[in-house]
Each structure stands twice: as C-alpha cells, then as structure tokens.
Structure 1
Amino acid sequence: MDIGTIQSVDIDEQMRTAYLDYAMSVIVARALPDARDGLKPVHRRILYAMHDMGIRANSAYKKSARIVGEVLGKYHPHGDMAVYDAMARMAQDFSMRYPLVDGQGNFGSIDGDAPAAMRYTEARLNAFSEELLADIDMDTVDFIDNFDGTLKEPVVLPSRLPNLLLNGSSGIAVGMATNIPPHNLTELASAINYLIDHYDTIEDVTVEDLMNFVPGPDFPTGGIIVGREGIIQAYGSGRSRLTVRGMARIEEVKGGRYNIIITEIPYQINKAGLIERIAELVRDGKIDQISDLRDESDRRGMSIVIELKRGAQPRKVLNQLYKFTPLQSTFSVQMLALVDNEPRLLPLKRALHLFIEHRQVVIERRSRFELDKARARAHILEGLLIALSNLDAVIQTIRQSPDAETARARLVERFKLTELQAQAILDMQLRRLAALERQKIDEEYQEVRNRISYLEDLLASPQKILALIKDEMQKLSEKYGDPRRTRIAADAREDFSEEDLVADEPVLITLTARGYIKRVDATAYRSQNRGGRGVSGQEVREEDEVSLLLAARTLHTLLFFSDRGKVYSLKAHQIPEANRSDRGIPAINVLNLEGNERITAAVAVPDFERASFCTMATSQGRIKRVALSEFASVRPSGLIAITLEEGDRLGWARLTSGNDHVLLVTANGQALRFEENQVRVMGRQAAGVTGISLENGDRVASMEIVEPGGNLLVVTEKGYGKQTPLEEYPLRNRAGGGVMTINQKALKEIGQVASARVVQPADDIALISANGQTVRLKVSQIPVTGRASRGVRLMGVGDGDSVASIARLPTEQ
C-alpha cells in the first residue's frame, strides 16, 4: 500500500519557519494598524461591511447582530464576540477621540461595564467614518479576495482623515506591540498643512516645528499631560512614556470642611476601579483624612466626590491620591504601524508624511477614474452633437435600415462614428430633439470638457494635488474640529504640582488678628455706592478682628511677614478657598508659624523677576529695603526679614523697582514722600533706618509706592475717605515729619487714618471692617479733594466697629 513519501525535516528549521509565518500573520492580519488609514483588518471590515449594507450616518440604525453576521459571513472568519467588541469600542466616546460608529443602546461604560448583547444594540456609521470610506467606489484603493474568494474587500480605506493619529490604536502582536495616543483633528490638520507648505524642504522640518501645531496627544477623557519631554521624545522617535493626571478641584462645604471633586481621569483608566482603589487606601489607613466617597457622575459629566474630615488639608490629600492611585498614571507611547506590510516605528513627521503620500495616491487614482468617465461621456456627447447637427440625415438613415444592427453600421460608416456613439444615437429619446434639450447637451458637453481639462491639469501637477489635500484638510477641520480636551502642563514635574490644576483668577486674602486666613473670589463682592454698610465679609468672633486684606491672583506668590520679623512664602491658591462669610482656617495650617507668632504684613509677588526690591515699613516709622531675590526661595520654617526693636511691628511690605517714590502716612494724618534710593539696600538681618519722624502718640498707618497719574486714597477708622492728587505731596528727605494729608482737627469725629492706598481712577477698592463687614467701591465714586479736607463717608461703620484694611483691585481684576 502506497502511504506516501517520507521526507526528512530539520525540526529546528521547521519550527523557526512555522513560528515566523504565524508571527507575521498576527502582525499583518490582526494586531497592527495600517499607517495609511489607521485601521486593523477587523475594524476596516466592519466599516466596509456597514458601508456595503447602506448603513449611513443619516439612515436607520441596524441591529448589531445583523452587522456582526455580515462581517463574519463575508470578510472576517473569526469569533463573533471579537467582531462585536471591536465594533462596540468604535462607538465608545471614552475610548475613541472621534467615534467611528454611532451606537444606540448600551455599548459599555468607563466603569468597565461590558456592552449589552448584540441582539439588543443597534448601530450605524458615524459621519466621521464616512470620510474614511469616501470615494472607495472610484478605484481609489486596491481590493483583494475575501477568505473564500467569493467577494472582494479593500486592502486599505481611502481615508480623508489621518485616523492613525486621530483615534490612535493599541494592540499586542508577537514580539511587538503598538500603543498610539489619540490627537486633536484641528491640530493635526494644521500640522499637515504646514508640511504641505514646506513639502520641498520637508527634511528640514523639525519636531519643534510640528509641535507648534500639535502640542501633544488629546485624550477623549481629558486629563493633564505632565511635562513636554515625554511628548518631544515620542514625536521624535516614536517611543516614549507620558505621565497623565486626572483633573480635580477643591470645594469648601459647610462647617469648614472640603470636598475634592474629580471631573476627569486618565485615558483607559477604569473609573470604578479608581474608586475601589481609593476606598482600599482609606480602609488600610494610608489616606486617613477622607470621610466619604461617592460617584455622582451622570449624563452631564464625571463627578467623583471625596469628602474630607474636618481640619483635613485638601492639597495634601490630593497629593496622596496622585501618588497612590491611578489618578496619576503613565501612558507608554509606541507608535508602531504597518508600512508596506512591514511594522515600522513612526515619529510624528513620518506618520503625517505617510498620510499625505496616501492621499496623493488616492487623489491621483480618483482623478484618473473621473477622467476616464469624463472622456467616455464626452465621446458619447460628441456623437450626439454630430447627430443633432445632421438630424434629418440621421433620421433618414435609421428609417431606411431594416434593423438596429444595420442602422448602427450605416451610422458608423456615413458619419464616421464609433460603435458606442452610434448606439447612443439609436438609444436617444425623441424628446432630446427639442431645441431646449439640444442646448442642454451643448452645456453638458462644455462642462465635461472643462472637467477633463481640470483633471488633466491636476494629474500633471503634483503641487495642485498637494493644494487639494490642504483644502480638504481645512474643510474637514472646520466641519469636525473641536477644542482640545487634554491640558498640557509643560513646565510641571512628574511629582505633583498643584499649580497645574489652578486657574489664574483674582482673589482677596483676608487675615484676622487671631490668625484666621482665607481666600475669596474677588467677584464675590459686587461694587456698591459709597456710604453703604457693605456685606458680611467674614465671620469674626467677638474677641477677634480683621487685620489685613490683600488683593492677589491665585498663581501669585504671597510673602507673609510676622511680628517677629520673619518672612514666609506661600502660593495664593494654597490658601483654602472659602465663602464670603466664612471665618477661614488658622494660618498655622498653611504657614509654619511658631507659638503666638502673628502675621502683620503681606505682599503679592506676580513674578520675582518683575521687581527688584521689597521695601518694608514698621509702625514706629522704620523703613528697610531688601533685594527681592533674597525671598525667592523661602524655606518652610521661614527666614529673618528684619530685626525689630522692642514694641515695634512690621506692618507693610511693597515691591519697588529702585527708582520709586515712597509715601508714608501716619494715623494722625501726616504724609511724607521721599525717594526710595535714600534707603540703602540692606541684608535680611538689618533693622532698617528711620523713614518718618513721629510725634508722641502717633504711628505709621500705611506705606505706599507713588504711581504716575494716581491719587492717594486716605480712609479713616470711622469710614470717611477722600482722594488727593499725588502731586500735592512734595518730595522731601527721608526722616522728616511730612505734610498734612487730612483735616487733623476733625480726627475725633472721623477717626484716625486706618489705611491709605495709591489708586488709579479706573480701579475698584475693597474696604473691610474689624468685624468683617466688606464693601467694594469704584474709585471714581470717591471725591478728589485737597490734602486738608476731611473726606466723605465711604462705609457705614457700626458702634464698636472700625475700618481695618483696604485692598486695591486694579482694572484687570
């Protein structure tokens, strides 16, 4: 019995060959996307099957089971769940930056819930995916046999959009994997157009050039990408690691407690898993300041509410969440895709260049297809025009012919026509012989000739093809483009910096004599008419009173000066935000103050490079100037800023340029103006020099820096105030007694000077009383008078109350 031929095989070589074949099959046919349309075979087959079924974005939904069956039966002989899972993912707006499938029903959730069974859900193509399939019936791409050779399927889609980068891709092949992050369409379109504009010198285009348009990935779930180094490396080499954080904000609730609200989480992070991880950390005691945790997410957006215990420091808890939970995670970029059926690692420029080359091929093939059809139509129209020009002879020839075949042959012979033209004449309806119909044929022929000329010119000019790609990208960007969702904290470090989450907004910082501090949105106090009682600005205990009111922005650095001559540094946003009427929290919670140490002065520093000096003044008239750079890095325990004499108190600090004029105002209504440079620059340990000579019982009430075009606003303890032009204050030498700045005979009636500020006409001011009443006024409402006037009532102050401080709110606030 013939049992066949026995062949000796080297098992080592056989295994190597078989495994290599298997590996390449997985790489090419399953795991890696094509660099041209950004799709794996299963996704491409799903979209093409839906297109073939006529399921468009404007048509009715079809059962998912029907679509899956179509894909399995015609193109993809694998498991039905593999196809359904792939289709479901293309419908998830938390997985795809621009979903390709419009799903109806339960297609899963960011909590990790699986989609409903395919018999329950429905789907159709998204308008976005129709752009990937556009012109597929115009010989723009190659087709190959399906698995059983009965049908044809596209090798790649025409893809008007750079889907590889738009929606990204992930997959694990044999010995390699891909993980491409999604991007923003508007940004990619701008980068593609930039490459087209510099196509002749494309080799000179750098990663930095492209990053002017594409600053980084844009995840569908938003979040924050920390730093630019990882992005630069990814775009330059195709491989990198990005640190991504969720977005959170801190809100104050009743009772002085705080909530952390998480509104965005990193891409591909399971929300339910994140909540479970936080709960686990609380149970294990690793995070001990959380009292409650709940998920309040709904159709309006994500909202994970973390309630903190009384006295908890919200920033510290947020740091712990970033450190111990997936709220901060990494995204490994591996931009691997198939180029000519071979896996290639693609930098950003190469990926965009491949898309441009793909579109060039598609437009060339589409144009040739259109040109062939246009030429064929022009050929027919030329025959019809010949027939219309010789209408009687043509009719006679046809009538005298015994059958259609003979008529066609006689027309070809007599009028020098082709077989196609003759057949078109025979097929022409009698109504086309009317004059109006003849005109339509003439017009159609001219249109077709113009189209032929345009297509021939387009095919002969690569630059015009590139211009057409650019025009298409611009229109698609306008049609589908949307704002970036993912924020990039370019200068942030991977270890958490809360500034990355803070909006730059105007705020008011208040501090009481007993050391309670808070931050309030500056817009919480609306402008009022002068003389009003104001609104409740702070809950103040009977034994406490407001001592300081400071205007700043959330990203400003605040320098706090204490009664012991020390300086402390803190970002404004690190002070917990509170409602207008809340008392705040003890300053010792945010500043490392020693026992019984009190803050007596503060200054907001927008930028340590914008000012040169910090000028300080004490209540006993001493003044000191220190280089601002001395306070650029203040350690948590504070630094010595000034040596104070016994009984003296540091009360004011201002930023100066070195060429400013200083104005000291006393409680009894004296004011002295002198040049800043009369005070030499001193070290931090120095005690300063005499700024103004005080009479017995007098004290300094304010120190200001003169501004061109400004006025000096003086406000008394009983709420009286007025403006005086700065020109009325003569320039004198330091250590003098100054000149009168208010009607000193009326001090018993109006009260001593509480504070003075240099203001501009367009500013607002905020006045706060010792009992916490606050009023906001427009400076333009306050009369401008001479130095010796008493002023008018600006704020109604009750019995036992007095004006404590003034904050200037510049125009931009």
Structure 2
Amino acid sequence: MTEENKEGSLFGRVVPLPLVDEIKESYLNYAMSVIVGRALPDVRDGLKPVQRRVLYAMSELGLRHNSAYKKSARVVGETMGKYHPHGDSSIYETMVRMAQDWSLRYCLVDGQGNFGSIDGDSPAAMRYTEARLHETGELMLADIDEETVDWGPNFDESLQEPLYLPAVLPNLLINGSTGIAVGMATNIPPHNLREVVDVLCWILETGRAAGELSLADILERMPGPDFPTGGLILGRQGIYNAYRTGRGRIVVRGRIHAEEGRRGRACVVVTEIPFMVNKTNLIETMVSCVQNKEIDGVSDIRDESDREGMRIVLDLTRDGDPDLVMRQLYRRTQLQSTFGVINLALDKGRPRELPLAEILGLFLDHRRDVVRRRTQFRLNKALAREHIVEGLVKALDIIDQVIQLIRSSASAAEAKDGLVGQLGFSELQAQAILEMRLQRLTGLEREKLNEELRQLLRDIASYREILGDSKVLDGVIRDELRDLSRRFGDDRRTEIVDDYRESADEELIPESDIVVVLSKDGFLKRQDLEGYTLQGRGGKGRKGASVQEDDSIATVCVTHTHRDLYFFTNKGRVLSLKGFSIPETRTGKGKQISRLLPLEEGERVVTLSSGDMEGLNYAFFLTKDAVAKRIQLSELVGSNRPRRIITLDEGDEIAQVRLTTGRDDLLLMTAEAQALRVPEEEFRAMGRGARGVQAMRLAPGDSIISCDVVSEDCDILILSERGVGKRTRFAEFTPHHRATSGVRAMNLGPRTGRLVCCHAVRDQDEMIAVSTRGRTIRVAVQEIPLLSRVAMGNITVRLDEGDLVADCTIVRTEDRMGEQTAEGGEEGREPAPVFGAGPDEGPAE
C-alpha cells in the first residue's frame, strides 16, 4: 500500500460521529430492514420474504402437489441454508401457517401430520411432519423459469432468489396478510376467490384504470371479506371505509343458534367463530363469564367439535333465555370481535396504504408484466427454434450435397465452415445439421419437422399478437383467472348482515326484582328479591345483609335491574345508577359507593329512591329539619351527570324524596310520631338552586323520617326502631296547613323506641325490613294489624339484644316482575330458596 493510500484509508482510524445522527441512521436502517425484508407483504404476490423463500425452496426441492411428501425439516433446512438466515423456528411457523385451513382461505402448502389446530395447539416438531406444495402454492411459482420476475442475490451472494413471484393467484386479496413492522402494521382480510376473479375480469373487460373504478361496481361483485372460519359481518359501513381508504373496522360475529337439548331444556350452539379467535381461549372466557354471572342461565359448557366441524354447546338452566344468552355471548366474549383493516403493502419497495381499487389495479399491472415477459421469452425461444428447424428442412432438401460436403471434410470444424460458406447455412443451423441423427432422414421425420415448423409459425404469430395488442394480452390474463375460479373457486363462507343493531347493556341483563342495601359506611350491594323468603309477622328474619362489626345498615330499597335508582347525598345532589350496575352478592358487604358514583370530598348518600315515573310531574324533597321543596321532575331525570337539586342548611340532609302529580296530599312523619297531612299545592315549584320552605314545626330533638303520598285505597304502615309496627287509615289524618306541628300518629314508649320509617301500602304489598346488624325479614302487609292512630302497634320484627331496625321498604304489587294472579300472588314461580337460612333461624312466633 502506498503512502497516499494509507492516508486516504479509514482503516485503523477513529472517526468521531454525533451520537444522535448515529442512532438515527442505525434505527432507520433497522426499521427499513424490518419493513421491507420481514414484516410487510409485496402488493404483487401478497407474500412476505420468508413466505416467498419457503415456497421457492419447496419448488427447488421438487415438492410438487402430485409428488411425494418430504420432511418439514428438509424444507426448513433448505430455506435457512440458502435464502433465509433468521432461524428455523420462524421458517417452520411460516410454513405451518400456510398449511392451516383456518389461517389461510386458500392454503399454499399441503401438510401431512400434526400442523396444530384452531384450539391453539402447537404443531408437532418439524422432524415429525411432512409437506409439499399445494396446487395453489404451485401456481404462485408458475412460469418462474421463463424470465417473468426480477432476481437478486441471496444473503451471502452465492445464489440468486426471486424478488417476487409470478403469482397467478391474487394472493394478497384471497389470503390477506397480517404483520407488525416498526411504526406500522398491516392487517388485510381474506376474500373469496370467485368474487375477486369476477372483479378482476370485469376490470379487464371494461378496460378501466384503477382511478376510474367505481366502488359501487366493485362492491356489487365483491361485497366484502370472506374469512376461512366463516361467521357473520355486521353491516357494510366498515367494509366501505376499508375499501375506499385502506382502513376500516369490520365487526365479525360467530354463528350461533338455539336448539332443544337434553331433557327438553334449551341449549345454545356455536358452529363458527370469528377469524383469528382461539377456540380454547373462547371457551375459557365463556366459563369465566358464567362463573362471574356475566352470562346468566348457563348450566354447562361442552366442546363437541370433531372432524365434521365446530360445535360448542352451552346447556341452559330450565328458566334460561337463549336470546339473552346469545346477546351476552356476543357482548362479553370474543364471539363478537372487530377486525381492523389496514391495507398496507409494499409497492416497488415502498410501504403504502392502499384502497381496494388500487390493489386490484396493481395486481393486474403485475400480471400484465409477467405475461408480457413470459410471452417475450416464449417468442424468443420459438424464433430460435424456428431458425433451427428451417435449417434442418433446407438440409433435407439438399441432403446429398450436405452429405458429400461432410464426407469430404477433414474435421467437424471444416464441415461446419463448409455448410456456412458453401451452402448458406448459419452457424447455429450448421451445428444442428452436424448433430442431426440419420433417422431424421426418413420421410416420417421430415413430415414431423414440417409440422413443427408450421406450429412454430402459429405460436410466433400468437405471441406477437399478444405483445402487440393490449386487449389480447388482457384476454390471456382473463382466461387464466377464469380457469382459477373454475378449479379452486368455492362458495362464500362469511355472511354479511345488514339489519342488526348493537346490544345495549340493558339487553344483556335479565329483568328481575332486586333489593338494594346501603350501609352507613357506604357499602352498596344488591340481592335478588327471590332470595328473601316471605315470613309471618314477628319473625327474626335471615342473615342476608352482611356488614362489618363497626358498620350498620343505613337504608334499603326495592327496584328492578333495568330501572334507574336515584342516590341523594348530604350535599343536596342527586346521582343515578342502573339497578344492574350495582354489584350482586349474597353474603359479601358489597362495593364502596364512591367507586360507583362520583362523590365529592365528604359527600355521602343519605337516601335512595326508585319508582315508576309514568303520570308523575314533580319531585318533592323533605329534609330532616323539615325544609320542603318541590321541583319539576324534568330537573331530576334525563341526565347521567350529578345534579344539585337543593341547597341545604349546615347539618341538614335529605330525609325523603317522593314523586307526585302536583295535586296530591302528603303525609309527613317525624321520629317522635308526629304526622302532618298537608296539600301539595302549599309548596310552590322552585328551581334546583333554591333552599325550600318550612314544611312542619318540629319539637326539640325531633326530625323528619318520612313523607308519603296520601291515597284513599292505601293505609300508612309505621315501623319503630324496636320492631313494633302497625297500619293506620289515611282518613284518620285530617289536612292541615304547612308549618304546623301535626297530630300524634303512634303511641311511643320504651317498648317501641323512635320511628324509623313509614310507607303507604296496599293489602297485596309486602314489607322488607333490615336491621342494623344485617338481619332481613320479608313480611306480607296483611300480617301487620290495622289499628287506630293513637294505638301503639304489635311486634312486627323480633330483634336480638342490642339490634335495631335500620330501614324498611315496600315490595309493591304493580312493580313486581312476572304475571300476577287475581289474588295478587305471583304465577308461574317456584318457591324461592330460603335466603341465608340456618337451623336456628325460623320465625320467632
């Protein structure tokens, strides 16, 4: 090396580079390597590099669709050693996927052995399985030896490999592709071959360019993706967006139906699942949802899938609703999933997000290029052969001169020169004449040469017509596509459903009566009403509302799972929650209400309200300090956001909320059994920010506990903290003006304690009372005696030492779910199981 070369060389020198620039360049090189060399498919053949190399390696090994299988390890070794030096596991996984009929709509590899399953089972090791090209995979390589594609060096530049395949099949569309690169991803859905061919042939017949294609015409022939696992596509908007822009969201559902199962019970059967959903994971999700009561009415789940097809059976309970179960399956499991379409592919080495029309146009451009190059190759080959055959025919015409010249020549070179110089043959013709066997001199062989020459002339004319006329070239492509459709086309597997709607949360929850319990420490829960057994008056109830030792029950309310429950706080705000949103538990303490409702610092719920609002116009609020306020019902409902509905004095809080017509009489009740009946019109309607007016004059230490609407066909039920209760006619309470003290409603004493609640009731109603320690009793109203206004009452709830009644609520006949008998009972129901019953927990009397 000269001194000049030493100075100009970088060998042995340290070159300082900015760190940011070096990291940027290295990252870009890595990103482009992943994008172009590994993760994204080429728009022409729809294959990633590893898929292309596996297919080409199998072709080089001679693994045609009609040849013997070879060990998968042989294919992997050939691919890794010659073309793809990235590890055997990725190569084998790629080959396996191309052989799975639930992964590809049209398989490219024909596998023999355990190639995995839709359950997510792993394939057997490559030393145990065998493979060969599928007939469709073979078509991906058709005419590759006729100079139809570009070639490049392999990783060590010792061999040449195709940069893309001729691809007679529109593989990118019929099999789709999924891949994650650096900063980008592709997710192209598979389609039906017949439909894709119909669109391509229509484009070729009309002669339109990609930019001139009408999406409506494409959708008419190719309505949407066709997944190998079948299923249903909900709606066409997602398809339209994906085809128009290259991106879209397609909602896919599995196919399920209801059947009559064993012992006459209904069952729900899943026969198809969405594309790319693992069946085992789906079943595990179903089991988990059933255990967590997110899916109701399922008693057993079985997988009865076999070689004939998929079959997942969900046996229902005797009262299970198949329609409800199916809606819950779609909402709670992967039986309904979203396929996010991203039509990202490499176009001449550049990643592009392509609309469907452009993908179709680029594939046809690729096929035109392949057919043109193939035709040119065949034309050149035919012309060369024509030249040779013409020389042989000419030689036969002057065979005596040819033989004489050859016999007189001292060497083959001299004979060849003589044929060229004396008889006018070209060097190629002269060489062919010298290599001609004597049997070609027979008359039959001469006729064969003449026929071959005529056929060559016809082929040459056909090739030149294809190359000279674009319509003829398109006709060749169209014929090849139609042949594909005839040989491999099949019916659509995925159905597109137009008339559908998304199930709302309410539709996924069975309608039922529930009892909602709130503790003083703010724990909220619900229990099905059927869990509370009807008992006689004076019973001790059941252990149903579990509370902590230092906690106690604050209030209880009966409502429906689909009804709004309103929560009123000590800060004068109202918040709403659907009944089904409240956590259900039999023995647990429930969930902190602050996790269900957006409560402010120091804010707590003081009362609950739920009821049918039909025909009602106002909400009447009454605080413990006897401040009353009436507002329009529209101010209370119609919004999911918290609302302030009353301004409270310091230390005051809402005691009761009642919904009214605007013309009712109201009965106000205090803890010291003072009752005031007052017309509703005495309280003018106010805005949400107002404080209200004085409703009743209270004695020192007394407070409001309840307010109810007076109804002539109802009685007022009164219950004290020590479980003493009675019913009294509303007629015994005469109307007075507001801000007066009212009249005595019950004779109180140490045996009764203070009052805790009162409600308007009918004879058919039932009462549920809950104690501070969580014991609950359900009593028919008829069991409670009807007494005068000044009477004390009888024991309605028998309490343990130190226990007190916390609250009570009424189960009203008209609000109860299910049909009612003429006597007011419930028809068609089995007796409910005893809720929390123990051996020593019977009625006290």
Same fold (TM over 0.5): yes
Query: Against the structure 1 CA distance between its residues 110 and 200, is the aligned structure 2 distance closer, same or farther, given a 3 Å change threshold?
Result: closer
Which secondary structure state, in structure 1, belongs to the residue aligned with residue 315 of structure 2?
strand
- Residue 136 of structure 1 aligns with which residue? 144
Q: For residues 454-494 of structure 1, what are the alpha-carbon distances to aligned partners after superposition, in whole Å with 9 as ceiling and x for unaligned?
A: 10111011111111111111111011000000000023234
Q: For residues 541-571 of structure 1, what are the alpha-carbon distances to aligned partners after superposition, in whole Å with 9 as ceiling and x for unaligned?
A: xxxxxxxxxxxxxxxxxxxxxxxxxxxxxxx
Following the alignment from structure 1 to structure 2, what is the Cα–Cα distance between the partners of residues 490 and 474? Answer: 30
- Residue 427 of structure 2 aligns with which residue? 419
Give the superposition deviation at 1:150: 1.0
Confirm or deny that 1:332 pairs with 2:343. no
Give the superposition deviation at 1:254: 4.5
- State which of 309, 313, 323 in structure 2 corresponds to 1:305: 313
Following the alignment from structure 2 to structure 1, what is the Cα–Cα distance between the partners of residues 88 and 504? Answer: 44
- Residue 283 of structure 1 aligns with which residue? 291
TM-score by length of 2: 0.58
Structure 2 counterpart of 1:315, one-letter code: D
Contact 2:210/2:360 (CA < 8 Å) preserved in 1? no
Correspondence 1:493-504 to 2 at 5 A: 493-495=501-503
Query: Against the structure 1 CA distance between its residues 375 and 234, is the aligned structure 2 distance closer, same or farther, given a 3 Å change threshold?
Result: same
Structure 2 counterpart of 1:449, one-letter code: L
- Residue 190 of structure 2 aligns with which residue? 182
Confirm or deny that 1:437 pairs with 2:452. no
With 469-478 and 487-496 compared, the bigger mean Cα shift is at: 487-496
- Residue 111 of structure 1 aligns with which residue? 119
Gaps of 5+ in 1: 498-813
Following the alignment from structure 2 to structure 1, what is the Cα–Cα distance between the partners of residues 342 and 212? Answer: 24
Following the alignment from structure 1 to structure 2, what is the Cα–Cα distance between the partners of residues 394 and 453? Answer: 31
Following the alignment from structure 2 to structure 1, what is the Cα–Cα distance between the partners of residues 57 and 275? Answer: 29
Confirm or deny that 1:246 pairs with 2:254. yes
Following the alignment from structure 1 to structure 2, what is the Cα–Cα distance between the partners of residues 456 and 202? Answer: 27
Structure 2 counterpart of 1:224, one-letter code: L
Following the alignment from structure 1 to structure 2, what is the Cα–Cα distance between the partners of residues 496 and 206? Answer: 36
Confirm or deny that 1:216 pairs with 2:224. yes
- Residue 98 of structure 2 aligns with which residue? 90
- Residue 17 of structure 2 aligns with which residue? 9
- Residue 645 of structure 1 aligns with which residue? none
Following the alignment from structure 1 to structure 2, what is the Cα–Cα distance between the partners of residues 201 and 85? Answer: 38
Correspondence 1:376-415 to 2 at 5 A: 376-415=384-423
- Residue 352 of structure 1 aligns with which residue? 360
* Residues matched between the structures, number: 497
Which secondary structure state, in structure 1, belongs to the residue aligned with residue 137 of structure 2?
helix
Following the alignment from structure 2 to structure 1, what is the Cα–Cα distance between the partners of residues 258 and 146? Answer: 56
- Residue 350 of structure 2 aligns with which residue? 342
Structure 2 counterpart of 1:389, one-letter code: D
Correspondence 1:251-270 to 2 at 5 A: 251-270=259-278
- Residue 499 of structure 2 aligns with which residue? 491
- State which of 133, 148, 167 in structure 2 corresponds to 1:159: 167
Which secondary structure state, in structure 1, belongs to the residue aligned with residue 119 of structure 2?
coil
- Residue 281 of structure 2 aligns with which residue? 273
Q: For residues 390-440 of structure 1, what are the alpha-carbon distances to aligned partners after superposition, in whole Å with 9 as ceiling and x for unaligned?
A: 011111111111111111110111111111100101111111101111011
Following the alignment from structure 1 to structure 2, what is the Cα–Cα distance between the partners of residues 399 and 490? Answer: 86
Following the alignment from structure 1 to structure 2, what is the Cα–Cα distance between the partners of residues 174 and 362? Answer: 31
- Residue 149 of structure 1 aligns with which residue? 157
Correspondence 1:511-526 to 2 at 5 A: none
Following the alignment from structure 1 to structure 2, what is the Cα–Cα distance between the partners of residues 402 and 164? Answer: 63
Following the alignment from structure 1 to structure 2, what is the Cα–Cα distance between the partners of residues 393 and 165? Answer: 63
- Residue 742 of structure 1 aligns with which residue? none
TM-score by length of 1: 0.60
Question: Structure 1 runs of 4+ off > 4 angstroms?
Answer: none
Give the superposition deviation at 1:376: 0.4
- Residue 124 of structure 1 aligns with which residue? 132
Contact 1:218/1:486 (CA < 8 Å) preserved in 2? yes
- Residue 85 of structure 2 aligns with which residue? 77
Following the alignment from structure 1 to structure 2, what is the Cα–Cα distance between the partners of residues 282 and 200? Answer: 55
Q: For residues 572-604 of structure 1, what are the alpha-carbon distances to aligned partners after superposition, in whole Å with 9 as ceiling and x for unaligned?
A: xxxxxxxxxxxxxxxxxxxxxxxxxxxxxxxxx
Q: For residues 356-408 of structure 1, what are the alpha-carbon distances to aligned partners after superposition, in whole Å with 9 as ceiling and x for unaligned?
A: 00000000100110011000000001110110110111111111111111111
With 463-472 and 230-239 compared, the bigger mean Cα shift is at: 463-472
Which secondary structure state, in structure 1, belongs to the residue aligned with residue 152 of structure 2?
strand
Correspondence 1:47-66 to 2 at 5 A: 47-66=55-74
Contact 2:45/2:171 (CA < 8 Å) preserved in 1? yes
Q: For residues 597-651 of structure 1, what are the alpha-carbon distances to aligned partners after superposition, in whole Å with 9 as ceiling and x for unaligned?
A: xxxxxxxxxxxxxxxxxxxxxxxxxxxxxxxxxxxxxxxxxxxxxxxxxxxxxxx
Following the alignment from structure 1 to structure 2, what is the Cα–Cα distance between the partners of residues 140 and 439? Answer: 34
Compare CA radii of gyration and give the structure with the larger one.
2
- Residue 27 of structure 1 aligns with which residue? 35
Contact 1:189/1:474 (CA < 8 Å) preserved in 2? yes
- Residue 428 of structure 1 aligns with which residue? 436
- State which of 480, 485, 489 in structure 1 corresponds to 2:488: 480
- Residue 452 of structure 1 aligns with which residue? 460
Give the superposition deviation at 1:90: 0.4
Contact 1:90/1:99 (CA < 8 Å) preserved in 2? yes
Gaps of 5+ in 2: 1-5, 506-845
Give the superposition deviation at 1:63: 0.3
Which secondary structure state, in structure 2, belongs to the residue aligned with residue 415 of structure 1?
coil
Structure 2 counterpart of 1:305, one-letter code: V
- State which of 378, 381, 389 in structure 2 corresponds to 1:373: 381
Q: For residues 724-744 of structure 1, what are the alpha-carbon distances to aligned partners after superposition, in whole Å with 9 as ceiling and x for unaligned?
A: xxxxxxxxxxxxxxxxxxxxx
Contact 2:72/2:131 (CA < 8 Å) preserved in 1? yes
Following the alignment from structure 1 to structure 2, what is the Cα–Cα distance between the partners of residues 36 and 495? Answer: 41
Following the alignment from structure 2 to structure 1, what is the Cα–Cα distance between the partners of residues 264 and 307? Answer: 30
Query: Against the structure 1 CA distance between its residues 334 and 201, is the aligned structure 2 distance closer, same or farther, given a 3 Å change threshold?
Result: closer
Following the alignment from structure 1 to structure 2, what is the Cα–Cα distance between the partners of residues 203 and 33? Answer: 22
Correspondence 1:632-711 to 2 at 5 A: none
Contact 2:209/2:361 (CA < 8 Å) preserved in 1? no
Following the alignment from structure 1 to structure 2, what is the Cα–Cα distance between the partners of residues 198 and 380? Answer: 42
Contact 1:380/1:421 (CA < 8 Å) preserved in 2? yes
- State which of 219, 233, 244 in structure 2 corresponds to 1:225: 233
With 459-468 and 246-255 compared, the bigger mean Cα shift is at: 246-255
Give the superposition deviation at 1:496: 8.6
Following the alignment from structure 1 to structure 2, what is the Cα–Cα distance between the partners of residues 267 and 321? Answer: 16
Q: For residues 202-257 of structure 1, what are the alpha-carbon distances to aligned partners after superposition, in whole Å with 9 as ceiling and x for unaligned?
A: 53321111011110000000000000000000000010111000001110135441
Following the alignment from structure 2 to structure 1, what is the Cα–Cα distance between the partners of residues 198 and 13? Answer: 64
Following the alignment from structure 1 to structure 2, what is the Cα–Cα distance between the partners of residues 466 and 496? Answer: 51
Query: Against the structure 1 CA distance between its residues 86 and 380, is the aligned structure 2 distance closer, same or farther, given a 3 Å change threshold?
Result: same
Contact 1:227/1:493 (CA < 8 Å) preserved in 2? no
Following the alignment from structure 1 to structure 2, what is the Cα–Cα distance between the partners of residues 491 and 313? Answer: 22
Give the superposition deviation at 1:311: 1.8
Structure 2 counterpart of 1:89, one-letter code: R
Contact 1:243/1:494 (CA < 8 Å) preserved in 2? no
Which secondary structure state, in structure 2, belongs to the residue aligned with residue 251 of structure 1?
strand
Contact 2:296/2:320 (CA < 8 Å) preserved in 1? no
Confirm or deny that 1:38 pairs with 2:52. no
